């Protein structure tokens, strides 16, 4: 997980659920023992490369930072509902909102 994902989740939970319920859910999330990849100079450089390569697919810098972190950590699967990230061929997207058809 990246610090960017943490910020996106913070924004989503507080905005959608409000400061009390969103804050409670955020506390649960932040107390889970994830390994967090920090946003440093190397990740910014990798983000720029990903963004230049995939901008036409509709990703932004935050999405590109996730992909750059995945590359850095040799991760190929991503749990997301983001439509733009589903267009990136090098990653396997698992959408938690899609029904399993099997």
Domain residue ranges in the chain: 1-36, 38-102
What φ, ψ does residue 5 adopt, rounded to 5°? -65, -40
pLDDT at 50 over 70: yes
Q: Which pLDDT score is estimated for 65? A: 94
Q: Which pLDDT score is estimated for 1? A: 83
Estimate the crossing angle of helix 3-30 against helix 61-72, to 10 degrees. Answer: 80
Q: How far apart are the first and last CA of the chain?
A: 29
Q: Which pLDDT score is estimated for 101? A: 52
Averaged over 32-59, what is the pLDDT?
94
Which of 99, 94, 54, 50 is closest to 76 using CA atoms? Answer: 94
pTM of the model: 0.79
Q: In 1-102, which ranges are continuous DSSP H helix?
A: 3-30, 41-54, 61-72
Q: How confident is the model at residue 71 (pLDDT cuts 50, 70, 90)?
A: very high
pLDDT at 102 over 60: no
Averaged over 16-37, what is the pLDDT?
92
């Amino acid at each position: 997980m990246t610090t960017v994902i943490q910020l996106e989740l913070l924004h989503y939970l507080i905005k959608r659920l409000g400061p009390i319920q969103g804050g409670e859910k955020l506390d649960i999330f932040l107390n889970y023992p994830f390994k967090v990849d920090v946003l440093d100079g190397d990740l910014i450089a990798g983000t720029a490369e990903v963004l230049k390569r995939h901008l036409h697919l509709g990703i932004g810098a935050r999405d590109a930072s996730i992909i750059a972190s995945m590359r850095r950590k040799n991760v190929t699967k991503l749990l997301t509902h983001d439509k733009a990230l589903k267009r990136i061929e090098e990653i396997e997207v698992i959408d938690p909102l899609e029904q399993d058809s099997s």
